A and B are shown apart, each in its own frame.
Chain A
Amino acid sequence: EAGVAQSPRYKIIEKRQSVAFWCNPISGHATLYWYQQILGQGPKLLIQFQNNGVVDDSQLPKDRFSAERLKGVDSTLKIQPAKLEDSAVYLCASSVLQGAANYGYTFGSGTRLTVV
Chain B
Amino acid sequence: QKEVEQNSGPLSVPEGAIASLNCTYSDRGSQSFFWYRQYSGKSPELIMSIYSNGDKEDGRFTAQLNKASQYVSLLIRDSQPSDSATYLCAAHGGSWGKLQFGAGTQVVVTP
Q: Which residues of A line the B interface, CB within 8 A?
A: 31, 33, 40-45, 48, 50, 55-56, 89, 91, 95, 97, 99-110
Do B96 and A56 have beta carbons less than 8 Å apart? yes
B contacts, CB < 8 Å to A: 4, 31-32, 34, 42-46, 49, 51, 88, 90, 92, 94-104
Given pairs A31-B97, A43-B88, A56-B96, 15 additional interface contacts (CB within 8 A): A42-B88, A42-B101, A43-B44, A43-B101, A45-B98, A48-B96, A48-B97, A55-B96, A56-B98, A91-B43, A100-B95, A101-B32, A101-B51, A106-B46, A109-B42
**Contacting pair B46 A105 (CB below 8 A):** yes
Q: Which A residues are CB-close (under 8 A) to B51?
A: 101
In the complex formed, the residue of B with least CB distance to A99 is: B95
Q: How far is the CA of A110 from the CA of B39 in the complex (A)?
A: 13
Known: A43-B101, A44-B101. A97 touches B96 (CB 8 A): yes
Main secondary structure of the interface of A (DSSP, over half): strand
Q: Is the CB of B99 within 8 A of A41?
A: no
Q: Is the CB of B43 within 8 A of A107?
A: yes
- Least CB distance, A21 to chain B, in whole angstroms: 13
Give the CA-CA distance A97 to B31 in the complex, in Å. 13
- Within 8 Å by CB of B44, from A91, A95, A99, A100, lies A91
- Chain B positions within 8 Å of A41 at CB level: 103-104
A95 pairs with B103, CB closer than 8 A: no
The reply to whether B98 and A100 form a contact with Cβ atoms under 8 Å apart is no
A42 touching B43 in the complex, CB below 8 Å, given contacts A95-B97, A101-B32, A103-B49: no
Bound-state Cα–Cα, A77 to B92, Å? 23
